[in-house]
Structure 1
Amino acid sequence: MKKQRNVILYIATSIDGYIANNDGTLEWLETTEVEGDSGYNSLVERIDTVVMGKGTYDVIRGFDVDYPYSEFKNYVFSKSASGSDKYATFIDEEVKTFIENIKQEPGKDIWLIGGGNLARAFFKENLIDEFQLAIAPIVLGKGISLYAGDDITQNYTLSKVEKLGQLVMLHYVKK
């Protein structure tokens, strides 16, 4: 029997649920003492596809490093870009239709990198099979929220808790 590909949201948040400052920066996370690789290496062994929003893609491309996800198939949801570039294929279609289709293709799991708007679209369509949330020991009070107060209820089961320096990694899987 063919294994269903899962969508994994692996993301860091502040205690109060913010995934970035208003401008998309993450210096608050970069200053957090972390032990090990925060589960990153075990995640990338499981995936062959990444999806993200255009804002997240632009922030990543703005880093002064080589593009970190070039070994994976990259899909970027965008209303402004089309076609593809050196790293990614741009998608302008319904999230649910697109994800349901690529989950049927052969391959490994799919990493939903972010950002907040795209994650909320996945929440609304109940498309996240697994959460790996790294909680940083900081309250930001403002920024880009992972949760926007949408009227959704979804139940997950806690499968693992890890302390990684000052981060706590919570693993949840869909019931």
Structure 2
Amino acid sequence: MSSGMRSTVTLHVVSSLDGFIARTDNSVSWMDSPGDIYPKGVTDDGAEVIQSIDCYVLGSRTYEHALQLGWPYGDTPTVVITKRELPSTRKSVEFYSGDLKRLVDEVLAPRYKNIWLVGGAALGQSFLKLGLVDEIRLMIAPVTLGNGLHLFGNSGMEQKWLLKNVVAYRNGFVDLAYRRPPTDS
């Protein structure tokens, strides 16, 4: 990658209103849209954003869910973080079990500009703790779960984020986009 081009790691996560990303049994069926309920919201299929993604990074359970649900990532290169032996069903999928900072700096950044981390609470927390997240895209679903897997859990530190954008959708979901503030270094 040329010195003028810098990769961006975006943590994309869907959360309930009360801050959970999955039920206690890890199910996520609550993410299904309830239908058109917010007349001021926009209708957007997200195609433009999806086309801009160069690489996905998933945790192993997210990978397994994606295989069950019908692989939503197309032929976009995908790295699955796991220590387990998992089925390799696509040429676009690589498995990785090493140091996450090395993965981003040495493996992904030289090859991809727009990297999306899309699954796994623990994985998201690890990336946040290591300072590897440049942007957070938080989609909030119009549902409360009462209990489950926490959105960020213990990410280890307080950090300010700058709001980039807010989009409300007709289905009642709200998309919040934040970026890491520039450092003074």
Q: TM-score, normalised by structure 2?
A: 0.83
| Aligned pairs (5 A) from 1:115-134 | 115-134=120-139
| Aligned pairs (5 A) from 1:45-64 | 45-63=51-69
Larger displacement relative to structure 2 (151-160 or 109-118):
151-160
Gaps of 5+ in 1: none
Identical-pair percentage: 28
Alignment match, 1:76: 80
Q: Which of 47, 54, 59 is the equivalent residue of 1:41?
A: 47
Deviations 1:61-114 (A, max 9, x none): 112x3x2213111100001127x8232211110112111223431433001011
Large movers: runs of 4+ above 3 Å: 31-35
Q: Which of 81, 86, 89 is the equivalent residue of 2:89?
A: 86
1:157 aligns with 2:162: yes
- SS of the residue corresponding to residue 114 of structure 1 reads coil
Offset at residue 9 of structure 1 (A):
1.5
Alignment match, 1:97: 102
Larger Rg: 2
Is the CA contact 2:23–2:149 (under 8 Å) kept in the aligned structure 1?
yes
Offset at residue 171 of structure 1 (A):
0.8
Q: How many residues align?
A: 171
1:147 aligns with 2:152: yes
Alignment match, 2:21: 19
Is the CA contact 2:126–2:155 (under 8 Å) kept in the aligned structure 1?
no
* Equivalent-residue separation in structure 2 for 1:140 and 1:3 (angstroms): 41
The one-letter code matched in structure 1 to 2:139 is A
